[in-house]
Chain A
Amino acid sequence: MRANRPLLEVDRLRVEFPTRRGTLVAVDEISFHIDPGEVLGVVGESGAGKSLTGSAIIGLLEPPGRIAGGRILFDGSRIDDLPYEQMRRIRGKQIGAVFQDPLTSLNPLYSVGRQLIETITTHLDLSEGQARKRAIELLAEVGIPAPERRIDQYPHQFSGGMRQRVVIALALCANPRLIIADEPTTALDVSIQAQIIALLKKLCREHGTAVMLVTHDMGVIAETADRVAVMYAGRIAEIGPARQVIKQPLHPYTVGLMGSIPMVGTDADRLVQIEGAMPRLTEIPPGCAFNPRCPKVFERCRHDRPDLIRVGPASTACWLYDGQAGHD
């Protein structure tokens, strides 16, 4: 038993896309939690269901995608079945979001100040003038020089990195307790990426904000996350403390993923490559979804689907560890 209640608890979440040729299961019964102030990194290839999980949590799955099963609890109460209006009050106020592309996340027709002020006055009981003051403070906090002047400028007058700072200010402006950052640095220059991640990390530590950091950049995870969830084909392959997962990965997929990161100071001639590609949602094989690519595949993997098995501080969905399960 944990002493503290987790801030976010995702319990057997299932996201489906009904199509003409049958229902696609994009997120398949995944469970995880995020503690207050904790940074959970979620990694995986494109299409593994990382972003959809984030969208499902903030209640912004795009139709026809829908939550087909499971529960999402925020601070102990269910939020997956809330009516739109109640969920709207949670979005921005309790759960903020940062999206991938800062160039398209801001409305080009309104000044950044207007966008900040409208978000602040939507959630907090402040006057226009107070909201403006807070907006300037926020811009200063995210490291925008001369915020009193910049506040009245339009998004096109900001560079990509500066816009992502504005987006972060927008996500933080009602002091949410959780931020879902969906690939916040993917669209940025490499030199800017580190700055933005450092900023996000610093602000969240100062504000005590928990973060679900969706990315496919293991470097970002290693630097930022407290725990990591590795997703593959809509399921969690492995979840555990970041250091543990990076240093001693359990699941053969995670092992392959870690092997494909270039490391300075190691003498590997070639990076390890995982053979094949992640299956499409329509062609997920029976058993473990990774079995056609797995170097350690054995008979059971081909027809039994593994659930998360606890191994030390981490958990993994792999039959290799069946029987080694530790007892909580």
Chain B
Amino acid sequence: MKISFYPIIIAIILLLTVQVGTTVVSAEVGPEYTVKAAMVRNFAKFTRWPEDSVSKQKKKGMCLCLMGDESILESFAGIRGKTVEGRTIELKWVDNLTGLDDCDLLFVNRETRTKMSRIMGAIADRPILTIGETKEFTQAGGMITFFLRQGRIRFRINPEAVRRSGLKLSSSLLELATIVHSYIREHRQ
């Protein structure tokens, strides 16, 4: 059975050409973790820490802890020294659970997926804004998780985890997020 594919492919190419012609908006493109780092800085802008958790020394600096593959430290290097509400962002790579004491924010990359429960257990309800990039993260009690859709980064917020920690997130942030209900907790009960 002979099938002539040429008319089909010509039609597809024509269709593609027409579509491309109508797309005139210039693309903003960035490396995945650079964009994520920039978004983490924005999350910090929309977050209010409890007064008692921001000590005098912390008022000058904001400690962003990074957990997972060592290479993420390099990826986030661009936000080192940037400021949020007058506080300068400092980076700290942590590879064990005892190094979390100074953290105001914690980014956990996907390589630590199987350790999520232990990490979240160690943080308990401390006022640390936790950000991850897997589904397991919010199920284990993480607050914000990134995901990709159509080549762009989106994020989900787990409001229960945020509430327990005492942090306050701006409604502007909540409007842009996909809200996660604590699915896994319901299932555990």
Do the two chains bind?
no
